[in-house]
Amino acid sequence: MDEFPAYIGFLQALAPWAIRKPGVRRGSPDWRPFIGPLTDRSACQTRKIVTSLFDWLRDVGYLQLNPDAATRRSSCHRTTRRCCLKRLVPARAPNRAVRRVSRRRAASPR
């Protein structure tokens, strides 16, 4: 169970041997899988993908439980949701909505 958080930690703080040097092409003996450490957002997405694969393995009977089940309510998922909300709602939109409501209140007779 401890391996899964360690794997995500590995992705966020890669060892130098795992990082590919610029210009190295796939197929070269010097090719490495990463061009640098994953961002928090990318690590969260990786966690979601691997977790869904573990869910499938559990559902078809290859695993008794998902190794990430104990850490599902981690801050990673909340951070990812927050990132998505920032992309869906432009930063100025809430302020515009407040201004419009304020103008309507000021313009309507009571």
- Listed by start position, the domains of the chain span 3-107
pTM over 0.85: no
pLDDT value of position 85: 47
Regions of the chain short of the pLDDT cut 70: 1-2, 70-89, 110
Joined together, the tokens standing for residue 35 give 């061009």
Task: Tell me the Cα Rg of the chain.
Answer: 22
- Please, which residues have CB within 8 angstroms of residue 44's CB and are 6 or more apart in sequence? 76, 77, 79, 80
- Please, which residues have CB within 8 angstroms of residue 41's CB and are 6 or more apart in sequence? 79, 80, 83
